[in-house]
Structure 1
Amino acid sequence: MNVHIEGEGTVSAGEEKARSASIRDVARAADVSYQTVSRVLNGHPSIRPETKQRVLDAMADLRYRPNQAARALVTSRSQTLGVVLGSRGEYGPSSSLAALEDAARERGYWVNSAYLRDTRPETIAAAVEHLRRQSVEGIIVHAPQVRVFDVLAELDVDIPYLGLHSAERGIAELAEDQVHGGMLATEHLISLGHAEIVHVAGPQDWIEAESRMQGYLRALSDADLPTRPPILGDWTADFGYHAAVELSRRLDFTAVFAANDAMALGMIHGFRDLGIDVPRQVSVVGFDDIPLAAHAWPPLTTVHQQFAGLGERAMAALLRAIGEPDVPTDAVSGMNLEPSLVVRESCAVAIAAKR
């Protein structure tokens, strides 16, 4: 059998099979229109049995496999979900994305992601439109800034979407986990006798930074201890290093809770360079439990997050939102998803702060 491809001469059926056959290739082989092939894929009742069989035979001969778009045409389900990412490269976002993808694959879905290089409304709108063009059935927004959700509300997104750490338009228990983690870190320092505790927060307007700071403030309030204005950082070890240098000029504190491990490790480095002993003079706690945290000197006490469990919980919530059957409300009830404190050697019993 010869198959003619317009503009490219004639190729043999064997050559046709060597590449991925398209719906038009099937139409040519079956001597029907590609609209007829689409109707066969869609189970349209108007197709005569002999025509349908001819199309199916052509599909088998060419080893045709419907692509994602064709499957969506047949089932009205793309089995694809979208993730909007507000940051990448850091351990937390990377681990969360991997957990989301793993959870989706376990339920038969693929994940497409769109990274926001900035938070301008047009950038956010373009990311959502990109995912919509992939026929995603729902979107998880792993973007840390509050303003991202403000823009999404104005866009009137017409498919389900959930914020990974947004209490207002998302999964409230995940947002509360961040608050709880901040409390764990601060309460540990309080239990060691620290009363003057500095908090180095993440960037302003970042949801996770705000939640962890709220945990810090709650713990101090519950213990009736004084609060200090948080230092707004940028999540980097370089910022932590320079913050330690500046804080060392007054040293009117005995402990630091840094909102992520990178800043905490940078602070330990800065204190060490200035001859300040961690933990005997200053105790330091981080957040995330990155792989390097256990190998710092001293090994870093930090808050560990269950990223795999977070991904499973978020994916289950989104699938329920899009009407996926067989996703029980207690899909992750047996998993311990709360953050936990990992105690290492960067904290010690408080000594009196220098005045």
Structure 2
Amino acid sequence: MRYFVYLCVVMFGLLYSSQAFTSVEKYTPAEIQLIHQIYQQQNSDISLSQTRYRLYENQFLLSEAQRLMPNKVVRLSDVGFTTGYHVERYLNNLFIKQLHLPPTIEASNNVKHFTASWLTNTLGEYPANGQYSETQKNTLNLVKLEHFAFPAMSVYDFIKPLSMQIRFRLHQGDNQLFQAEIAKKHQYFINLEKATNAFKAKDINIDNLISIAQGDILRPSIQSWLGVKDMMHGQSPILEQLEKQVSEQQINQYYQANKSRFKYLYQITAQGAEFKNRNDAVKFKNEVAKSTFNAALKAANMNDIYSKFDNNINREHKKEWVVQLAFTQNENELSEVTRSPAGLWVVVLTNDYEYRYFAATGQTVRYQAIKSVALQNAHQQYQQKWAAWHTQNEIKL
């Protein structure tokens, strides 16, 4: 058991080292079939060939990430868990489902002495910036966690992979949370040993499963970073660089090819009336339907609310609510009775729509063109690198 645990530590160390992606793992049919079953739980339509494609694409993504942003491979965010922590959770769930193992395992009586006072005394004050000083690291490295299924390790090495929020709670003395995290790691290494033995006979390699887990976990973030998927927060540095490279010629070409997108309603002719009472507005609308807007205004002895614009309104007038209302209407179609912010009831009729195009040199066009061209180039660059990678590594897709 101790020798097996030692091998696991070495294996994980190699996985997250700078040399982790210098070679390509060739997956066995059994490994692909196993992951296919897992993927089908989320997408029943995914095929075996699509699963294989995705697994090798994930390897490519990991190699790109290791080359361009190695720190992100280890930990995507300073406030989150390490990738290694997520890998353990991913694989533990896989082991439990595939081998029908117990969902939880107690970490034995060895956790009982981890009381709240022990935890606060051991960890001390939580660093204000979330980063441990060398003195704190040295102190925490002196305290060992032993006699569990996982290798003996220092308290610092144990809490380092945890999220900032979890570590903060531990410093506050949440010993139940500490015991729960110990139980998770204890269970993982027990299940890892069982899975290693069980999967070996099925031609499934644990090293490959670790790589697969890492690829699945990091895939969305790496693709976002490379600019081929939307990034929830911030901007892809790849896209930022590509945006700087977009030329004036490319902007103009984009404009000519997509000119219809830059068409906008510039000016309309509008007629309108407003009433204090809704019933009066409804009655007026019915009169317009029977005759004309002008006739209804005259019969009601009312002024046109758009007369101050000579009934011709454009985008420059859109600060006023009645103008905004007019621009939302369909051409030659009498509006519904609408309540204004001032509490009045308004009826509007619009026609003579005049459309224009944003200038090719305007900010609206430039912004959309630069974003679109850069995104297209990012996808093209991605596909070229992906094709070169699987060709170089003799992977037939």
TM-score, length-normalised on structure 1?
A: 0.24
Considering only CA atoms, is the larger Rg found in Structure 1 or Structure 2? 2
Q: Which has the higher contact order (CA 8 A, sep 6+)?
A: 2
TM-score, length-normalised on structure 2?
A: 0.22
